[in-house]
Chain A
Amino acid sequence: SYVLTQPPSVSVAPGETARITCGGSNIGSKSVHWYQQKPGQAPVLVIYYDSDRASGIPERFSGSHSGNTATLTISRVEVGDEADYYCQVWDSTTFHALFGGGTKLTV
């Protein structure tokens, strides 16, 4: 079955740029979506269709896609960005929604 691979953790200082990757076989043929989940809360859509920001999401959040890796970039990171981040794709072959294992961002 299709697997999305994320690093378990990323750590940055406030004001720096955080990059969270999501890898998968032939992921370039799929659109990648990103979610932010803070402790005790439901996930929130951050990026859809690789690079479109969801409503209310600051411009500091951006998405990109190159080769077998999709990347969520958070510029000028704030303490409030500390959360778990998940990538997700829709596998149109199996009609499944698939999530990466999640990355804990520490600020």
Chain B
Amino acid sequence: QLQLQESGPRLVKPSETLSLTCTVPSDSIFSMSYYWGWIRQPPGKGLEWIGSVYYSGTTLFNSSLKSRVSIFIDTSKNQFSLRLNSLTVADTAVYYCARQRWMGNNWFDSWGQGTLVTVSS
């Protein structure tokens, strides 16, 4: 398993923008076999896919969040990042980054430990 690591602020205010970064510990970020994804989990609730990015910069988004989300990749730093704007308290969640195996029917085979982001004034 790849050890992914999320970083970013733990507390953000409503209406502001959340920025999180995931560091990939090797050059596997260049692999054509993987996308790199973000998934979140509100406290006590289930998992929700946010979106994913390919090493080329191609992105896929959950349509329910698409208007507020951007994901981009920096292969020179082995990092990919999430930006979620117009935050509300409903965006409070543990945010995970994960490696997404891209083989037609795609799954997440390595996950970061997750970071709890609280949206509060």
B34: chain A residues within 8 A (beta carbon): none
Instruction: Place the interface of chain B in its size category.
Output: 20 to 34
Interface residues of A toward B: which range?
20 to 34
Within 8 A of A (CB), among B65-106: 96, 100-101, 104-106
Asked if A66 CB lies within 8 Å of chain B CBs, one says no
From the candidates B52, B96, B101, B105, name the one contacting A43 in the complex (CB within 8 A). Answer: B96
Q: Which residues of B contact A (CB under 8 A)?
A: 1, 37, 39, 46-49, 52, 60, 62-63, 96, 100-101, 104-114
23 A-B residue pairings within 8 Å (CB atoms): A30-B105, A31-B105, A35-B47, A35-B108, A42-B96, A43-B96, A43-B108, A43-B111, A44-B111, A45-B110, A49-B107, A90-B105, A95-B60, A96-B49, A96-B60, A96-B62, A97-B37, A97-B52, A98-B49, A99-B47, A99-B49, A102-B46, A102-B47
Q: Which 9 A-B pairs have the closest CB atoms?
A: A31-B105, A97-B49, A33-B107, A42-B111, A99-B47, A90-B106, A102-B46, A48-B107, A101-B46
Binding site for B on A (CB under 8 A): 1, 30-31, 33, 35, 41-45, 48-49, 54-55, 86, 88-90, 92, 94-102
